[in-house]
Amino acid sequence: MAFALSVVYAATYSQAAFILLFNDHQETHAILGEVEDIADVQGKLSWAEVQVRSSGNWHPTNWLLRLIEFHYGYFNYHIEHHLFPTLKPRLLKKIAPIVKRVCEKHGIPYRSTAFSTVQASLLRHLHQLGQPSVVD
């Protein structure tokens, strides 16, 4: 019985990790200039600012998502991951408030959306992928 539960848990966890990773790479990797006008700052952005502007976080809104966040290794703190890629994942959540304050102080947008928003983005993206491409 314990072995069967372990297999079910591992399969479920693997599927959830795949969905979360796909979401992170769709919703949390913005292309600079695609969403906002950056003409005034072109060539003036620091490496750190580019990392913040081109990534984003999702935050848990209930106990189940907090559990997923833990099992996911706090990789939903993607801004912090881009800034500090070698930092232990459990520390990403701890430094997030500091990173957010520094961004606010310098007028840099710090994107953190609810998990449901990320899921909606995933569905829109999958729908777009299913549309025929237009060739010029």
Average pLDDT, the chain: 79
Q: Which helix (H) or strand (E) holds 59?
A: strand 57-59
pLDDT at 64: 84
- Per DSSP bridges, beta strands 112-114 and 57-59 are parallel
5-12: average pLDDT: 74
Calpha distance 102→107 (Å, rounded): 9
Calpha distance 124→40 (Å, rounded): 30
Region for 46 from its dihedrals, namely left if φ exceeds 0, alpha if ψ lies in -120 to 50, beta otherwise: beta
Which ranges of 28-113 does DSSP label H, i.e. alpha helix?
47-53, 63-71, 78-83, 89-105
Q: What tens digit of pLDDT does each residue of 81-135 get? A: 999 999 998 899 999 999 999 999 999 999 898 888 877 777 777 777 788 876 6
Q: What tens digit of pLDDT does each residue of 25-52 get? A: 555 555 555 556 666 666 677 889 888 9
pTM assigned to the model: 0.68
